[in-house]
A and B are shown apart, each in its own frame.
Chain A
Amino acid sequence: SQTIHQWPATLVQPVGSPLSLECTVEGTSNPNLYWYRQAAGRGLQLLFYSVGIGQISSEVPQNLSASRPQDRQFILSSKKLLLSDSGFYLCAWSPTGGLRGYTFGSGTRLTVV
């Protein structure tokens, strides 16, 4: 069966520090991968998605970037965090070739202080 792992669960970082959140999927090949952020009053906002290694689509201009160095690995990064980057970050995957819903990871609560 497929599983998705996301870590860390919580993170407190100072303003201006770098960020790296990692997500990996097991039990499937060539998944579509997604990063979402849940901010207060904003619902789930799609940040990035990837349909293959090295293929990244950005949905909103922001202080973050994403990379997919391996088929089942998706990384969310920032060189210098802002206070506004605080939120709950969720990684998700869906099978390639079609959309029948995502499976989400357990999320990372990021607090920038």
Chain B
Amino acid sequence: DQQVKQNSPSLSVQEGRISILNCDYTNSMFDYFLWYKKYPAEGPTFLISISSIKDKNEDGRFTVFLNKSAKHLSLHIVPSQPGDSAVYFCAASSSGTYKYIFGTGTRLKVLA
């Protein structure tokens, strides 16, 4: 039972354009969400987070949008750069638990 889903396994975008990575969840108790970036043979690194009390959070080129009614969040990267090429994971947790549930990841390739 996959509670956090990233239905696009891969995405290719031209340098300078916007990258949009999507994530859906099924558990309505989730109230905190994260995005991580992972390069091959390395541990994931934290990118950006959002609480369920917000619908948008921005950090430089990265913006995360949360649509609670649709149980959907998205990560926007603009402008995309070749160094953004990596696997991106979304993750969700609910208050009172000690763990995050991760999606299956989306491999982003930014073409120069």
Residues of A within 8 A of B (CB): 6, 9, 32, 34, 36, 41-46, 49, 51, 57, 59, 88, 90, 92, 94, 99-107, 109
Query: Complex: how many Å from CA A6 to CA B104?
Result: 23
- With A101-B34, A101-B49 as known contacts, state yes or no: A44 contacts B42, CB within 8 Å: no
Query: Interface stretch among B14-22, B73-81, B95-103?
Result: B95-103
User: Number of B residues contacting the other chain (C-beta, 8 Å)?
Assistant: 23
Query: Complex: how many Å from CA A46 to CA B34?
Result: 15
In the complex, are the beta carbons of A101 and B104 less than 8 A apart? no
In the complex, are the beta carbons of A32 and B102 less than 8 A apart? no
In the complex, are the beta carbons of A44 and B44 less than 8 A apart? yes
In the complex, are the beta carbons of B104 and A106 less than 8 A apart? no
Residues of B within 8 A of A (CB): 6, 32, 34, 36, 41-46, 49, 89, 91, 93, 97-105
Could you tell me the distance in whole angstroms from the C-beta of B76 to the nearest C-beta in chain A?
Answer: 19
Q: Given A32-B98, A44-B102, A57-B98, list of 7 further CB < 8 A pairs?
A: A9-B41, A45-B102, A46-B100, A46-B101, A90-B43, A90-B44, A104-B36
In the complex, are the beta carbons of B41 and A103 less than 8 A apart? no
Query: Complex: how many Å from CA A105 to CA B44?
Result: 8
Could you tell me the distance in whole angstroms from the C-beta of B101 to the nearest C-beta in chain A?
Answer: 7
- With A43-B89, A99-B32, A101-B34 as known contacts, state yes or no: A106 contacts B43, CB within 8 Å: yes
Could you tell me the distance in whole angstroms from the C-beta of A49 to the nearest C-beta in chain B?
Answer: 5
In the complex, are the beta carbons of B46 and A43 less than 8 A apart? no
Q: Name 11 A/B residue pairs within 8 A (Cβ), A-sorted.
A: A44-B91, A45-B102, A46-B100, A46-B101, A51-B98, A59-B99, A90-B43, A104-B43, A104-B44, A106-B43, A109-B41
A44 nearest CB neighbor, chain B only: B102
